[in-house]
Amino acid sequence: MSQDTVACDKPLPALDGLSGQFYGWCRQGELRFQRCTGCGAFRHVPREMCPHCNSMEWEWARSSGRGTVYTWTVVERALHPAFVNATPIAPVVVEMEEGVRLLSTLVDCAPADLAIGMPVEVVFEAVTPEVTLPRFRRAAR
């Protein structure tokens, strides 16, 4: 899959609240997830409260960056004007070693080679000076 140049009209995260903190770590080249300091459970997407123990105390804990592909799709026809010239795009759900899953794309895998269970590791792509997205590349098993 080509590293397409990201046009300015592609949607970007809002960078407000907890989302801003998550992407702030990405901008520093670190993938971090919230970890409850009450019960130790990781969570993603960022939320105010731990759904396991209802603690509102948490920390940003650094992820190993490693995971496996849990499921995927290949968008052949864009349903958003900003992606019309970017297809095919292959959004994947990555299951991280910490147990949480996140939606991303792979930087080095043709859609035809996508497979559930494929080991991947995080890389970072600065799509604007303010926003860095976590993406993934294939990893050794």
Residue 71 touching another protein (CB under 8 A): yes
Q: Between 81 and 129, whose beta carbon lies closer to another protein? A: 81
| Number of residues engaging another protein in binding (CB under 8 A) | 39
Closest separation in Å from C-beta 23 to another protein: 8
Tell me how far, at minimum, the Cβ of 9 lies from another protein, in Å.
8
Q: In the complex, what is the shortest distance from the CB of residue 40 to another protein, in angstroms, rounded to a whole number? A: 17
The strand order across the sheet containing 132-138 reads 101-105, 91-96, 66-72, 119-126, 132-138
Rounded-to-integer distance, Cα 99 and Cα 71, Å:
15
Of residues 25-44, which lie at the interface with another protein (CB under 8 A)? 43-44
Q: Identify whether 45 is preceded by a cis peptide bond (ω within 30 of 0).
A: yes
Widest CA span in the chain? 46
Pair 92, 114: CB distance under 8 Å: yes
Residues in 95-134 that interact with another protein by CB under 8 A: 100-105, 111, 116, 127, 131, 133
Q: Residue 117: what residue type?
A: G
**Residue owning tokens 């907890």:** 18
Which positions lie near another protein, rule CB under 8 A? 10-14, 19, 43-45, 51, 70-83, 86, 89, 91, 93, 100-105, 111, 116, 127, 131, 133
